[in-house]
């Protein structure tokens, strides 16, 4: 690899790695609070898969723990979608639906290429297919369940819609046909929402700041608090190993 | 054991049968059951069993399942603060396994004619208990290691003999649970070892955690033999294989050299090797504290139960949605539940 490729690969690995790290953390917050035991297992399982992906990706860039625990908010490159607070179960599922659909398409394309992420993507795409399946089934159950679950699911889909445009902003080092990826994503999500008797949100998919903001280190307010909790212990013992 | 199945046993006391005939039939079933237990055969769900045996197993398995579920809380408390990604992954996997153990155990209990919903209801209303150990707080990261080493260690000491328990479904669940628990215990030990060999502050953190978790771990074996109400019957039925005090002694004998290898001390001035007995002697347990925690006055009893109830209540609309969806789309929801 040339020096330029190294830098580009690192930039892309950081973006994808931060996505996985941050979403894994959010899912970890569910432990002990899920609606049924089976979901304790499922959410922890997904969180673990994502954490595994994050560790591989961050290790391509440097020391995984330094990167996770010693960067500040402005240096994280995750999309704003994954840092959104869990909210109720519908909110978590809507976030999972949007993100896992994106991740499955993304890793599917990366796995079929010969770029630096092909190996990782080939393994990760199997995990992500399971995540997407899980999110789709819950979207159907909640959307087409009771009036209350329908309302909650619709509200969650609407609220998170504005963070989905960012997923298709260019990422340095990722050579992908983004418009094609976005079309496939819209087709897939629109199909699931339709089957779930939900209305495809009509609002914008990006805001004044949100287009690519997370990728530039511009995050939403809850993210700093999430990092404070995540990093506190590690930062309290500089140089210690665990 | 297949000699008497529930299909025939269920006819005990059919209307019209004379009292003596019913009593004779009952005695015959009991004889078959007793012989199976004596021969170390496994009792299976469709076999006839004394009602008290059934009730005792439901109580014990349910309490065990509840302990797995409540036991997720003290450790989950540190998932978002785990100090390295490796430790975070290990902890998440462990908490996930505990939910899985809860599932196996509720399934085992259901083979005795109860349901998970019913058992959860009893947990939430305080009619069934969970292990008193989970009413202690996890105050530092080292507590996660101490729980792995001591609490899981005590659990394994208790559970390995249960792999030979007379009730088949419980014994088989224990085989799976013990394999995973042993893995967690080694990981907890290794986490403590890293702290003990780390910086001065990390070592102090590990020592403090062991100081706080040692006695509660010894209490996990239950009251002393002369105060244990269930032990004699449970041993006669081969549900339990060893008394509380025997298992507690076994645990101490294993833990003392492990503490030495860790470079940590145990908070008991009376702890010393007894050449004559071939065991470690140890100091008196504060049974007042044990009963206090058991009665609900431990540091976290209210918090643990409230959080569990809250999760259940907050999740009600999700469970209702899943049931409504299943009804609409398969029309088989009721059948699937039956």
Q: pLDDT, tens digit, for every residue of A19-40?
A: 999 999 999 999 999 999 999 9
pLDDT > 80? residue B5: no
pLDDT(B245) > 80: yes
Residue-level pLDDT at A5:
60
Distance CA A121, CA A54 (A): 12
- Which residue from A34, A106, A171 is spatially nearest to B69, judged by alpha carbons? A34
Inspect the interface and report whether the beta carbons of A146 and B321 lie closer than 8 Å: yes
Specify the DSSP class assigned to residue B47. B
What's the token pair of residue B100? 């899985």
B11-30 residue pLDDT tens: 444 555 578 888 898 899 99
Helix (H) or strand (E) run with residue B38 in it: helix B19-38
The residue assigned the tokens 């729980």 is B147
Q: Please say if the pLDDT value at position B8 is more than 90.
A: no
User: What is the DSSP track for B168-187?
Assistant: HHHHHHHHHHHHHHHHHHHH
Which of B92, B310, B328 minimises the CB distance to A48? B92
- Contact list in A for residue B315 (CB cut-off 8 A) is 34-36, 39, 89
Q: Is-above-0.90 flag for pTM?
A: yes
From the list A32, A52, A65, the residue facing B311 with the nearest CB is: A32
CB contacts of B88 in chain A (<8 Å) are 28, 51
The pair of three-digit structure tokens given for residue B167, joined into one six-digit string = 């009730």
The pLDDT tens digits of the residues spanning B139-190 come to: 999 999 999 999 999 999 999 999 999 999 999 999 999 999 999 999 999 9
Cα separation, A124 vs A53, whole angstroms: 7
- The ipTM assigned to this model is 0.96
* B65, B72, B85, B204: best to mutate for the A interface, most A CBs within 10 A: B85
pLDDT score at B338: 38
User: How far is Cα B119 from Cα B65, in angstroms, rounded to an integer?
Assistant: 9
- Would you say B315 and A34 are in contact if contact means Cβ atoms under 8 Å apart? yes
Count of CB pairs separated by less than 8 Å, A with B: 144
Cβ–Cβ below 8 Å for B85 and A64: yes
Comparing CA positions, the residue from B191, B178, B190 lying closest to residue B152 is B178
Q: Report the Cα A220 to chain-centroid distance in Å.
A: 15
CA pair distance A123, A110, nearest whole angstrom: 11
B7 — pLDDT class (breaks 50, 70, 90): very low
Residue A49: per-residue pLDDT: 98
The one-digit pLDDT tens for each residue of chain A (242 residues) are 445 568 889 999 999 999 999 999 999 999 999 999 999 999 999 999 999 999 999 999 999 999 999 999 999 999 999 999 999 999 999 999 999 999 999 999 999 988 899 999 999 999 999 999 999 999 999 999 999 999 999 999 999 999 999 999 999 999 899 999 999 999 999 999 999 999 999 999 987 666 668 999 999 999 999 999 999 999 999 999 99
Asked if A189 contacts A49 with a C-beta cutoff of 8 angstroms, the reply is no
Closest by CA to B299, choosing from B73, B43, B105, is B73
Of A45, A144, A237, which is closest to B325 when you measure between CB atoms?
A144
Residue B331 is predicted with a pLDDT of: 65
Q: Does position B9 have pLDDT exceeding 70, yes or no?
A: no
Are A108 and A30 contacting, i.e. CB atoms less than 8 angstroms apart?
A: no
Residues of A in contact with B73 (CB under 8 A): 32
pLDDT level of residue B287 (50, 70, 90 thresholds): very high
Residue-averaged pLDDT of chain B: 92
Residue of chain A whose Cα is closest to the Cα of B97: A41
Contact check, Cβ <8 Å, B199/A28: no
């Amino acid at each position: 690899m040339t020096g330029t490729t190294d830098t580009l690969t690192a930039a892309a690995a950081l973006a994808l790695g931060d996505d996985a790290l941050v979403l894994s953390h959010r899912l970890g917050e569910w432990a002990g609070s899920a609606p049924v035991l089976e979901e304790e297992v499922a959410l922890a399982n997904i969180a673990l898969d994502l954490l595994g992906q994050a560790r591989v990706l961050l290790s391509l860039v440097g020391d995984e723990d330094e990167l996770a625990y010693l960067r500040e908010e402005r240096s994280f490159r995750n999309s704003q979608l994954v840092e959104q607070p869990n909210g109720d179960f519908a909110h978590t599922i809507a976030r999972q639906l949007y993100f896992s659909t994106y991740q499955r398409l993304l890793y599917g394309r990366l796995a079929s290429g010969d770029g630096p992420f092909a190996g990782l993507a080939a393994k990760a795409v199997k995990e992500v297919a399971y995540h997407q399946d899980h999110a789709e089934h819950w979207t159907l159950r909640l959307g087409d369940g009771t009036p209350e679950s329908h309302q909650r699911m619709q509200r969650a889909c609407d609220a998170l819609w504005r963070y989905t445009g960012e997923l298709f902003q260019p990422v340095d080092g990722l050579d992908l046909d983004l418009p094609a990826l976005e079309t496939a994503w819209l087709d897939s999500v629109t199909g699931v929402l339709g089957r779930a008797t939900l209305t495809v949100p009509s609002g914008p998919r990006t805001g004044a700041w949100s287009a690519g903001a997370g990728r530039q280190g511009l995050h939403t307010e809850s993210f700093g608090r999430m990092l404070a909790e995540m990093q506190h212990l590690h930062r309290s013992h500089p140089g210690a190993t665990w | 054991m297949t000699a008497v199945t529930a299909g025939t046993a269920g006819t005990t006391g059919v209307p019209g049968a004379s009292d003596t005939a019913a009593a004779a039939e009952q005695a015959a079933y009991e004889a078959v059951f007793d012989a199976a237990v004596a021969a170390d055969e496994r009792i299976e769900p469709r076999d006839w069993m004394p009602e008290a045996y059934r009730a005792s197993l439901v109580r014990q398995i349910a309490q065990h399942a509840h302990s797995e579920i409540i036991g997720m809380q003290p450790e989950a408390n540190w998932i978002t603060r785990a100090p390295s990604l490796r430790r975070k992954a290990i902890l998440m996997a462990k908490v996930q396994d505990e939910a899985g153990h809860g599932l196996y155990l509720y399934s085992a209990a259901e083979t005795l004619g109860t349901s998970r919903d019913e058992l959860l209801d009893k947990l939430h209303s305080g009619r069934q208990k969970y292990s008193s150990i989970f009413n202690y707080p996890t105050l530092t990261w080292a507590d996660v290691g101490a729980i792995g080493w001591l609490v899981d260690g005590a659990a394994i000491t208790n559970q390995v003999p249960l792999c030979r328990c007379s009730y088949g479904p419980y014994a088989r669940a224990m085989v799976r649970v013990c394999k995973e628990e042993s893995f967690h215990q080694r990981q907890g030990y290794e986490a403590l070892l890293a702290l003990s060999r780390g910086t001065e502050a990390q070592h102090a953190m590990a020592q403090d955690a062991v100081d706080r978790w040692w006695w509660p771990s010894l209490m996990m074996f239950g009251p002393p033999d002369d105060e244990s109400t269930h032990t004699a019957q449970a041993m006669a039925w081969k549900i339990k294989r060893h008394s509380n005090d025997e298992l507690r002694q076994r645990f101490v004998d294993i833990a003392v050299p492990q503490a030495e290898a860790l470079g940590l001390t145990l908070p008991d001035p009376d702890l010393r090797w007894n050449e004559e007995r071939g065991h470690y002697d140890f100091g008196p347990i504060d049974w007042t504290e044990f009963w206090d925690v058991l009665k609900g006055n431990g540091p976290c009893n209210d918090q643990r139960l409230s959080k569990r109830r809250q999760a259940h209540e907050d999740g009600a609309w999700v469970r209702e949605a899943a049931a409504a969806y299943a009804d609409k789309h398969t029309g088989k929801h009721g059948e699937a539940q039956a």
